[in-house]
Copies of this chain bind each other. A is one copy, B any other.
Amino acid sequence: VTPRITINDIARAAGYSKTAVSFAFNDPSRISHVARGKILRAAEELGYVPDPVARNLSRRTLGTIGFLIPEIIPLAFQNPYVFQMMIGIGEVCRREGLSLTVVPPRRGCVLSAVRDAAVDGLVTMGLQPEAQVVQLIQRRKLPFVVLDGVAPDGVPSIVSNDEEVSFQAMRHVLARGHRRVAVLSFADERHENEEAYSGIRDIRLAGYFRALDEAGVRRRDVSVIPALPSLDGGRAGMDALLQLDTCPTAVVSMSDVAAIGAMSRLQSLGYEIPQTMSFVGFDDIPEAVIIAPKLTTVAQPGYEKGVRAGELLTALMHGKSTPDRV
């Protein structure tokens, strides 16, 4: 196989120094027209393209930001809401001419993924403050912002007021007279990185329970069913629900996608919605509007939050100070 063509080859072929070749590509004004011509011609002939990795090392900047997700890609992105956030970050990448690297756990390990991530900065999804992950990111001196998670001190984070929003959602259900309510929570079993979700989950549960307490519904009468935020997660959640002694009349889900999955399962068993059960989701994913008009949902602007996260991160990368919490 032909060996890689480097800046040295071009310098030799064109009869100039490496410096000149570098300038020809990066700062043409610093060399003569003639030199530039010869160099570019040589590069063209030999099919030379400057190696981005070497350039990155020299420049100490990579032109890419990372989106750290607590799950593997096929799982995390089954939630359209997560996807929306990524698109929002992508929008900022577009503006700034950056690319976007998705950083899932590597071989099941978030730490090693973070250790090896070749990025200029990181948007992390659902991080807990005590995690070693935070320490590692900080050691690497990577600028980062937390999206939908509890951020350590001094780290900007983008969060909705999940407690209040959840409170309102549950209140809405109770106001309609429902007293037998089930919650589709985030999955907490079967995953080692359970901590990734536990932060928001607990906050939302708190909101739900505040409304339940207010209405005088006893906590033990509320079933909290763990479900992955995906269609299949919702389907499985519904199966679990149907096993309960007393079926709820309303289901409050922490994600639209799980709610939709649950609805589809119920429907496929021949039950009518909302006659059999009412559903309230979370996120307001675009699909929900068209798909599931019978799904009430709580807005959670994933796209906008992604944009905001991207903006905060790039501000940080440019050395600007940023507000802590948005």
Contacts and interface: CB of A to CB of B under 8 A. Distances in A.
Interface of A: 4, 47-50, 52-54, 56-57, 62-64, 72-74, 77-78, 83, 86-88, 90-91, 93-94, 97, 99-104, 106-107, 113, 115-118, 136, 139-141, 231, 260, 263-264, 286-287, 289-292, 303
B90 A77 contact: yes
Given A52-B116, A57-B54, A139-B49, A104 B77 contact: no
Contacts of A115: 49-50, 52
A64 B118 contact: yes
A77 B87 contact: yes
B101 A101 contact: yes
18 contacts: A47-B139, A48-B139, A49-B140, A52-B117, A53-B57, A57-B57, A72-B90, A73-B100, A74-B87, A77-B86, A99-B102, A99-B106, A99-B116, A100-B102, A264-B290, A290-B291, A291-B291, A291-B292
Contact of A101 (B97, B102, B107, B290): B102
Contacts of A72: 90-91, 94
A50 to B, nearest CB: 8
Chain A contact residues: over half helix, strand or loop, or mixed? helix
Given A48-B139, A118-B118, 6 more contacts: A52-B117, A53-B53, A63-B116, A73-B87, A73-B91, A77-B87
A99 B231 CA distance: 25
Given A53-B56, A56-B53, A91-B74, A290 B102 contact: no
A231 B104 contact: no
A222 to B, nearest CB: 26
A63 B118 CA distance: 9
B64 A101 contact: yes
A73 to B, nearest CB: 3
A203 B83 CA distance: 30
